[in-house]
Structure 1
């Protein structure tokens, strides 16, 4: 039943899909590089010669595997319209790794007495180890993905990732856009016109490509004329960089460094498992019946290989396989994307493109993705749970405020520590914001889950979820009283820190008791109208 068209390697739609998928991956790598190099002063050579090759290798291997799966499915069902699952770097967790793990760790290592080279090396090892931890978690959970999905409500899963999207992936890039508004705002407008409002561009040019092209043209035309002020930086010359992503055991040295960041790293892996389940269901609804376990195993193995070879950002199947299918993409677009990204990490042209295309040009794409993820959290969740989704955003907002306030360019570290430890009436406000933001992904899941249980009338279940939240608080997995967000054994803390732990853990316990008492009532509370 096989036909020759099912074995075609490229179709016109594959070219459109390739452009969109490549630019998505390039924009994420650009943000990682800009955040680490520009915001935290990380050495560029470590990013481009050690982190990028391994990261790109994960994209190459994952896309090759998904290409093969699509061609095998097309041969089995005898259809020529099977579309491969798109795979790339996950935007929210990649940005989270740069802003919440790697950058702060680099600063912490330097403050601890390491010189810049040693701090950069330790940070790279932490990044590799983090990827290995996430890869192992995803590999194990790929066999139990359905159970994970059943026990954590969709409002908690999507709400937590939407919180990352809204404040880290949306707001922070928006700030970068407005630093060079003549460039960034125009690109953002094109993205909103083409991708949000579904407006048609001349000659059918993809919206992402048009936004990047217009933004880059404005940047390189207006910049030399002096119209962009300090927002323009003359491009560096093309630099030849060659680095093979060879396997290394240096990640083993980074395992110990991951402990304080486990409240971030583990949810990052968990979110990708559930996301993989959701996108597989989306592809199935569009007519392409992929096995969920196969999709999850590929992304887990791609993440593991990337970690073994120096990578620091995890891969994931992208939301939007039906969109690629609608534009006529089949299996060639993932093959081309994997080759271009993978070889770009080896031969260095990815790093040159990242240096040539400023963040103000690429940031509009990230804002669009943030909008899409946040909207999906509401669209894919029953309307009655909207309050739970919104409630889950607050810890992410607290984390963003902490990121800004703990930036030494804004607030001196000594002054931050002084404000954190101040005590007037109750807990110091800065301490509240910081503690609320520490472990925010898990906190968001806990908060949304107990609100969902309340909405469903399962008050006893809500109380149990709160007791779990209290237990996590005791050990710093959420609401860590360590300003850096580290985990700990509460009985080893000093008296002041231990008092903070008991206040926050006790808050969960008190509310759980209140709800358990309420659960004794028969029947559900009467609904109120507004």
Structure 2
């Protein structure tokens, strides 16, 4: 598929020969070097961003758990501790070498497995990425291979992964999947909107939420629902699953967790901070959800059938 897409792109003149010549300027030998001094010197400059980095690290942790679970559902069990340690150690080594991007478990295990990928594919991928960065040929490959030829592969992986999620989930719990998708859809729409505004040389604040709302783009809603999607989607999923399975106390804990995350601006907020005014509406909302679960628990506890069960248990 990749080769066919590349050939067709060049045959129909969709690729630029000049881009290949320009990409060759990045050729060279770029061995990794240790930057411990730079790392230590950069810590004071990084501290103001720690409030944003911690939620991102937590989101990365959630991604790992999700993908480990996906592999387990596909029939391949991996020990969570070993995966997390390998992930963390790799990220630390990369950090010492000047890499600002953390490592995460790649999504789509079921899709790659359906294509016949195994341990050899994983090793080959890692080795290829190392050689590409070592000799600076990434720009050259992007100039030769069109993005349009790569996207269908990712679409296929996404379809297989989505199919696996729905297939492996008990029917009673399927609504939880779609509940978790809402923050992610908002996150996608927010990213798309911000990119368009940036391309036009402006921002959402400059255009104004009211102006965009008049055109059917509810920017404030996207900002609050889309920010913190990796974590808020998990909170929403917990609330939904505990409601479906009638576990009110656990649902109350999930609601309280959502309130705590909101009050610190970790979810539903573009910036991290304590008790920010825009975030308080979500704090109150999550507390109301928790209160509803507590009320449900008290009603169940005082229900006649519950009292009868307690009497039978004592007998």
Q: Does the pair score TM above 0.5?
A: yes
Choose which of 71, 76, 83 in structure 2 pairs with 1:279. Answer: 71
In structure 1, the residue matched to 2:29 is 242
Correspondence for 1:385: 173
**Aligned residue in 2 for 1:516:** 294
Task: Tell me how far apart the structure 1 counterparts of residues 200 and 182 of structure 2 sit (CA, whole Å).
Answer: 23
- Compared CA separation, residues 414 and 456, structure 1 to 2 (3 A): closer
CA distance in 1, matches of 2:181, 2:250: 22
The residue number in structure 2 matching 1:306 is 94
Give me the whole-angstrom Cα distance separating, in 2, the residues matched to 1:323 and 1:420. Answer: 42
Report the counterpart of residue 111 of structure 1 in structure 2.
none
1:222 aligns with 2:12: yes
Distance of 2:110 and 2:166 partners within structure 1: 20
Give TM-score scaled by structure 2 length.
0.78
Q: Offset at 1:301?
A: 1.8
Contact 1:446–1:466 under 8 Å retained in 2: yes
Which of 273, 280, 288 aligns to 1:488? It is: 273
Aligned twin of 1:361: 149
Residue 473 of structure 1 contacts residue 501 of structure 1 at CA under 8 Å; is this kept in 2?
A: yes
Report the CA distance shift for 1:254/1:360 in structure 2 as closer, same or farther (over 3 A).
farther
**What secondary structure does 1:393 align onto?**
helix
Deviation at 1:415, TM superposition (A): 5.3
Q: Secondary structure at the match of 1:406?
A: helix
Partner of 2:52: 260
- Say whether residues 1:213 and 2:16 are aligned partners: no
Give the superposition deviation at 1:298.
2.3
Change in 2 beyond 3 A, CA 1:372/1:473: same
How does the TM-score come out when normalised to structure 1?
Answer: 0.48
Q: Decide which of 131, 152, 174 is 1:343's aligned counterpart.
A: 131
Residue 47 of structure 1 corresponds to none
Gap runs ≥5 in structure 1: 1-210, 525-530
Distance 1:292 1:440 in 2: 23
Change in CA separation of 1:390 and 1:456 when aligned onto 2, cut-off 3 Å? same
Change (3 A) 1:282 1:351: same
Q: 1 or 2, which has the higher helix percentage?
A: 2
Point out where structure 2 has 5 or more consecutive residues left out of the alignment. 304-315
Alpha-carbon distance, 1:438 to partner: 1.1
Q: For 2:231, which of 434, 438, 442 is the aligned residue?
A: 442
Counterpart Cα distance in 2 of 1:438 and 1:394: 12
CA contact (8 A) 1:462 1:512 kept: yes
Q: What do the CA deviations read for 1:290-348 (whole angstroms, capped 9, x no partner)?
A: 6553344223322322232233252426654897599495x554444433321221112
Aligned partner of 2:312 in structure 1 is none
Partners of 1:401 and 1:433 within 8 A in 2: yes
> Is the 8 Å Cα contact of residues 404 and 410 (structure 1) preserved in structure 2?
no
Asked if residue 473 in structure 1 is aligned to residue 262 in structure 2, the reply is: yes
User: Can you list the C-alpha shifts for 1:116-167, whole angstroms capped at 9, x where unaligned?
Assistant: xxxxxxxxxxxxxxxxxxxxxxxxxxxxxxxxxxxxxxxxxxxxxxxxxxxx
Cα 1:511–1:325 change in 2 (3 A) is closer
| 1:397-412 superposed matches below 5 A | 397-407=185-195, 408-409=197-198
CA distance in 2, matches of 1:281, 1:388: 17
The answer to whether the Cα contact below 8 Å between 1:261 and 1:486 also exists between their aligned partners in 2 is no
Report how far residue 283 of structure 1 moved: 5.4
Change (3 A) 1:308 1:321: farther
Q: By how many angstroms is 1:475 displaced? A: 1.1
Judging changes above 3 Å, is the alpha-carbon distance between structure 1 residues 335 and 436 closer, same or farther for their aligned structure 2 residues? closer
The alpha-carbon deviation at position 213 of structure 1 amounts to 0.7
Residues of 2 paired with 1:296 and 1:324: CA distance? 21
- Partners of 1:326 and 1:353 lie apart in 2 by 22
Contact 1:279 1:318 in 2 (8 A): no
The whole-number CA distance in structure 2 between the counterparts of 1:279 and 1:344 is: 27
Q: Is the 8 A contact 2:108 2:157 kept in 1?
A: no
How many correspondences in the alignment? 287
